[in-house]
Amino acid sequence: MDGIHDLGGVQGFGKVPHTKNSLTYKPVFHEDWEHLAYSLLFLAADHMKQFSVDELRHAIERMDARHYFGSPYYDRIVIGTATLLVEQGVITQEELNACLGENFQLARAYSSPGRPALPERPPFEVGDRVKVRDEFVAGHIRMPAYVRGKEGKILHRTSVKWPFPDTIGHGDKSAQLQSTYHVEFNVRDLWGSAADDGTVVVDLFEGYLDEVT
Amino acid sequence: MSQDTKPQSSATPADRARALFKVLDDKKLIPDGFIGNFTKLMENDWDPSNGARVVAKAWVDPEFRELLLKDGTKACEQFGYTGPQGEYIVALENTPKLQNVIVCSLCSCTNWPVLGLPPEWYKSFEYRARLVREGRTVLRELGEELPDDVAVKVWDTTAETRYMVLPVRPEGTENMSEEELAKLVTKDVLIGVARPHVS
Ligand SMILES: [Fe+3]
């Protein structure tokens, strides 16, 4: 989906709030609740097998745009996890509200059932020129909008395959397994002269790509 | 006035996290020790000193360096650096003319076992929005002024590959031990927004 989470190249942001470089960046958590976010996520996704990390990503993308922008990082993880646990019927909105003492705002409902991958086809090879498919998808997708329709060059094909995000991100376990490709783009092919020089490499599932002929 | 203005919530992120915890705990869904064990992994085991050890070994051992660049997962496995978000590791080789930098524009993906959890700034809207488009400018703002003849290559972690940067071994480190070399490699160096410096 063309959501607010898809931030690559969006203008209107100032300096990165970089904290001083150090060997460890300890402490890892800055507030005493933050460890709960990933812990409860892994409890639900990994231990209880209630959903995949792809579904978690999409749940966070489904947050209302203002809600997303107003919530700090670990809060979004908590909200995404709570949303999926309610949707799976493990807990209820009422139970969350009762514990919180007010409405526990969750992500918005799905606006799409997701989609299957294209039929399998021969893999691309390192060095091939490829074009990112010019597609608009209402559900989950792991193609940042800034490469949509753009041409790049394949640097690497993964030796492992993963479930197609646009399918598994909606909880559909029939997702086709695909390799991903590290595709290199010239930054100025993406944003013209309103960008720095250099290249950007995007890790793209096979189903997002077409060969340039 | 506007139907999309939501009433202000008085609950904090901490309140929400604790509410979700309590609902699950009341249902006896949280095994004893689960939160504590996972928190220990995140706070102690996953640490940039792991990646620093990998880099230092690659600097002193050409055979290991070759393995790291060919199969990063296997090379990191030799140290026991595996687990969630470390299942498919690719090391990015810097040269005197190339600086690799890692970001996840869509969320926050990072190589946890090797780099540790990402720092706050890595997950910021600013970094996610700007790095892919203005890499050189962002690096300059973060204190790494690259000469014009050093190319910037940004790696957007949009799928399941988890990257680490293999920096160039700085000059003047010829007599350093592997342990001393590892101390030059910070989390920022492993992300690629800084280059190692000999103080
Ligand atoms: Fe991410």
Q: For chain B, what is the mean pLDDT?
A: 95
**Which residues of chain A neighbour B34 with C-beta distances below 8 Å?**
39, 43, 47
* Residue B196: inside a domain: no
Instruction: Say if CB B191 and CB B101 are below 8 A apart.
Output: yes
**Which residues of chain B neighbour A202 with C-beta distances below 8 Å?**
156, 158
Catalytic residues of B: 104, 107-109
Q: Per the structure block, which two tokens stand in for A133? A: 């498919």
How many domains does chain B contain in total?
A: 1
What is the spatial distance between Cα B126 and Cα B111, in angstroms, rounded to a whole number?
Answer: 20
Q: Per the structure block, which two tokens stand in for B63? A: 């055979």
Q: Cβ B17–A36 below 8 Å, yes or no?
A: yes
* Residue B1: inside a domain: no
List A177's β-bridge partners, or say none.
A163
Q: Which amino acid is at B28?
A: K
Quote ipTM for the complex. 0.97
DSSP-assigned letters across all residues of B105-148: SSS----HHHH-SPPGGGGSHHHHHHTTTSHHHHHHHTT----T
Q: Inform me whether the C-beta atom of residue A208 falls under 8 Å from chain B C-beta atoms.
A: no
What's the average model confidence in pLDDT over B59-88?
97
Residue B9, pLDDT > 90, answer no
* Residue B114: inside a domain: yes
Q: φ, ψ for residue B156 (rounded to 5)?
A: -95, 120
* Residue B81: inside a domain: yes
CATH of residue B185? 3.90.330.10
Q: What is the pLDDT confidence band of residue B2, given thresholds at 50, 70 and 90? A: very low
Q: Cβ B121–A43 below 8 Å, yes or no?
A: no
Q: Inform me whether the C-beta atom of residue B40 falls under 8 Å from chain A C-beta atoms.
A: no
Q: Angle at which helices B13-26 and A93-100 pack, to 10 degrees?
A: 120
Q: Per the structure block, which two tokens stand in for A76? A: 């979004």
| Cα dihedral: A164, B121, A74, B81 (round 10) | 60
| Cα dihedral: A24, A30, A35, A41 (round 10) | -100
Helix (H) / strand (E) containing A205: strand A199-205
What is the spatial distance between Cα A49 and Cα A84, in angstroms, rounded to a whole number?
Answer: 12
Distances (CA, A) of A168 to A37, A58, A132, B38: 22, 10, 20, 25
What's the average model confidence in pLDDT over B81-89?
94
What's the average model confidence in pLDDT over B46-69?
98
**Which residues of chain B neighbour A192 with C-beta distances below 8 Å?**
none
Q: What is the CA angle A68-A181-A80, rounded to 5?
A: 20
Mutate to test the interface with B, among A1, A28, A85, A87 (most CBs of B within 10 A): A28
What's the average model confidence in pLDDT over B15-34?
98
The interface residues of chain B toward chain A in range 53-112, judged by CB-CB distance below 8 A, are 84, 87-88, 90, 105-108
pTM of the model as a whole: 0.96
Q: Which amino acid is at B24?
A: L
* Residue B21: inside a domain: no
The number of C-alpha atoms within 13 Å of B108 and in the hemisphere containing its C-beta is: 23
Q: Cβ A187–B132 below 8 Å, yes or no?
A: yes
Q: φ, ψ for residue B153 (rounded to 5)?
A: -125, 115
Q: Inform me whether the C-beta atom of residue A136 falls under 8 Å from chain B C-beta atoms.
A: no
Instruction: Say if CB B133 and CB A195 are below 8 A apart.
Output: yes
Residue B1, pLDDT score: 43
Residue A33, pLDDT score: 98
A to B CB pairs, distance under 8 Å: 259
Which pLDDT tens digit goes with each residue over B128-155? 999 999 999 999 999 999 999 999 999 9
Helix (H) / strand (E) containing B21: helix B13-26
| Domain encompassing residue B123 | 48-191
Tell me how far the alpha carbon of residue A142 lies from the centroid of ligand 1, in angstroms. 10
Average pLDDT of adjacent 10-residue blocks, chain A of 213 residues? 97 92 84 98 98 98 97 98 98 98 98 94 96 97 98 98 98 97 98 96 98 91
Instruction: Say if CB B92 and CB B58 are below 8 A apart.
Output: no
* Residue B38: inside a domain: no
Q: What is the pLDDT confidence band of residue B5, given thresholds at 50, 70 and 90? A: low
Kindly provide the b/e burial profile for residues A86-96, where b requires at least 16 CB atoms within 10 angstroms of the residue's own CB.
bbeebbeeebb
| Separation in Å, CA of B34 to nearest CA in chain A | 8
Helix (H) / strand (E) containing A78: helix A73-87
What's the average model confidence in pLDDT over B164-193?
97
Beta carbons within 8 Å of A101's beta carbon, 6+ residues apart: B11, B15
Candidate from B27, B38, B106 with C-beta closest to A142: B106
Kindly identify which residue of chain A lies nearest to residue B31, measuring between CA atoms: A43
What is the spatial distance between Cα B31 and Cα B44, in angstroms, rounded to a whole number?
Answer: 21
* Residue B10: inside a domain: no
* Residue B128: inside a domain: yes
Q: φ, ψ for residue B28 (rounded to 5)?
A: 60, 35
Tell me how far the alpha carbon of residue B62 lies from the centroid of ligand 1, in angstroms. 32
**Which residues of chain B neighbour A99 with C-beta distances below 8 Å?**
18-20, 22-23
| Separation in Å, CA of B62 to nearest CA in chain A | 22
Q: What is the pLDDT confidence band of residue B7, given thresholds at 50, 70 and 90? A: low
